[in-house]
Amino acid sequence: MADRVLLQFLGATDSVTGSRYLVESGGARVLVDCGLYQGYKVLRDRNWRPFPVGPSSIDAVVLTHAHLDHTGYLPALVRDGFSGPVYSTRATAELSGLVLPDSGHLLEEEANHRRAEGTSKHAQPVPLYTAEDALRCLLSFVPVEFDQAVELPGGMTATLVPAGHILGAAQVRITAGGKTLHFTGDLGRADDPLMNPPRALEPCDILVTESTYGDRSHPDVDVESQLAEVVTRIVGRGGVCIIPAFAVGRTETVLLHLARLRAAGRIPAVPVYLNSPMAVNALAIYRNHPDEHRVAGDELERMYQEVIPVRSVEESKRLNERGGPMIIISASGMMTGGRVLHHVAAYGADPDNGILLTGFQAAGTRGARLAAGERTLRIFGRDMEVRAEVVQMENLSAHADADAVLRWMKALPTAPAMTFVTHGESQASDTLRLRIQDELGWKARVPDFCETVDLRKP
């Protein structure tokens, strides 16, 4: 009889953030992803609770990609006792070297700001973790190649295969106790202008799939035409076009489209400021991994040629006094923190300006509230009215939509014993579950938070 294999869902079961999956076999524990919760306060509060299992009891971590909702809790896990290896692709390790210290810095900055302004419920607010914690956790990373089988404790193995989505993103295949578990991570799009498509799904016993866009399809629109129209309209009236964008992945896609539009003369020649040191530094990592994306070296360089990098806090502050017309690209993509909040605070009250939301906005984030039509945001402990034009372009998303996920699954000749639908809002996950059952005839369900499944009877 095969060894017992347990799968515990420690995150992303009722949310599109906080991805954490624990596999137990042969007396060992392996954590797939170690993400940060974002969005609603009830979810963010989970970041502050003790990890559901003792960090020191986990033998290894395997990462799908570098976004914070998949990696952002790692500094706290290491600080609190995890001492094993963290396996990832080389690009994910390099990008994590940018993303995680930046996250720690922003958390420290927010705690200091709240302390200075007196806007925290706590007399002495502290960050979830520090930049130093993040730097320390980077020492645990062990980069591996795509398709390289990695031996794990307990007789398990892990193999990373391309997922598209962002640089270094992987699907994770784990063999344990005679079972093959396949974790999609975040699946990219077959038609993504920047990244290569995800690898086709191979046979597996258990499939754990994301469902970010499980209840919707991407609009059938020409992205560059829509982007040109929005940008031209905002800067044409002398406005500031603020584009919140994730420093890794979304920013590069936006820069690619803007560079092509500028070259074709389809948008006005106004200054484009990239207020994200992390995104500027990511260029070198894209240069290091040309086989993982579609953009040739000369075009990659052109993406940055006419962009003005903003590195220091002082330069960022001066942008808020400059006025339009101009374009500012700054993180975070869902307006959960970062420099973009200062720009929204400076320019959001003026109807001549605009805020362009690029892709998915998780429930409970400021971006989601704007996309839903709300026009009062709480920023730095104060309520601010937003009169600027708000536009959401979902077709800039780097996630496969529901139709694409189903096509990707449909190519599999034999159904998994069970498909677990995770990493989506509740409606999105359940809608995709129903489609998997009805259209593919597979067994599928949405697991509960912290549920443990014996994979002999999933």
Ordered by start, the domain boundaries in the chain are 6-216+398-454, 223-396
Structure tokens at 264: 């074709």
What is the rounded radius of gyration, in angstroms, for the C-alpha atoms of the chain?
Answer: 21
Q: Give pLDDT, residue 186.
A: 96
Lowest mean pLDDT among 115-124, 211-220, 434-443: 115-124
Q: Give pLDDT, residue 119.
A: 63
Cα separation, 304 vs 322, in Å, equals 21
Q: Is 413 exposed, middle or buried (0-12, 13-18, 19+ CB in 10 A)?
A: exposed
pLDDT score of 17 more than 80: yes
Q: Give pLDDT, residue 114.
A: 73
Share of the chain above pLDDT 70, in %: 98
Q: Is pLDDT larger for residue 249 or for residue 235?
A: 235
The backbone torsions φ and ψ at residue 321, rounded to the nearest 5 degrees and listed phi first, read -105, -10
Cα separation, 269 vs 345, in Å, equals 25
What is the per-residue pLDDT across 421-442, written as a single tens digit (0 to 9) for each? Answer: 999 999 999 999 999 999 999 9
Q: Give pLDDT, residue 189.
A: 94
Q: Give pLDDT, residue 369.
A: 92
What secondary structure letter does DSSP report for 50?
P
Q: Give pLDDT, residue 122.
A: 65
Cα separation, 92 vs 115, in Å, equals 34
Q: Give pLDDT, residue 336.
A: 83
Q: Give pLDDT, residue 120.
A: 62
Q: Is pLDDT larger for residue 424 or for residue 282?
A: 424
Q: Could you tell me the CA-to-CA distances from 383 to 348, 349, 380 in Å, in that order?
A: 12, 12, 8
Q: Which residues contact 260 (CB under 8 A, 6 or more apart)?
A: 224
Stretch 148-173: mean pLDDT: 97
Cα separation, 208 vs 187, in Å, equals 12
Q: Give pLDDT, residue 47.
A: 95
Topology of the domain covering 223-396: Rossmann fold (3.40.50)
Residue 110 — very low, low, confident or very high, per pLDDT cuts 50/70/90? confident
Cα separation, 19 vs 13, in Å, equals 8
Total Cβ atoms within 10 A of residue 50: 8
Residue 7 — very low, low, confident or very high, per pLDDT cuts 50/70/90? very high
Q: What is the mean pLDDT of the chain?
A: 92
Residue 1 — very low, low, confident or very high, per pLDDT cuts 50/70/90? very low
Q: Give pLDDT, residue 97.
A: 96
Cα separation, 378 vs 389, in Å, equals 18
Residue 118 — very low, low, confident or very high, per pLDDT cuts 50/70/90? low
Structure tokens at 411: 């190519």
Stretch 194-208: mean pLDDT: 96
First to last CA, the chain: 16
pLDDT score of 185 more than 50: yes
Total Cβ atoms within 10 A of residue 138: 16
Topology of the domain covering 6-216+398-454: Metallo-beta-lactamase; Chain A (3.60.15)
Stretch 40-53: mean pLDDT: 93
pLDDT score of 161 more than 90: yes
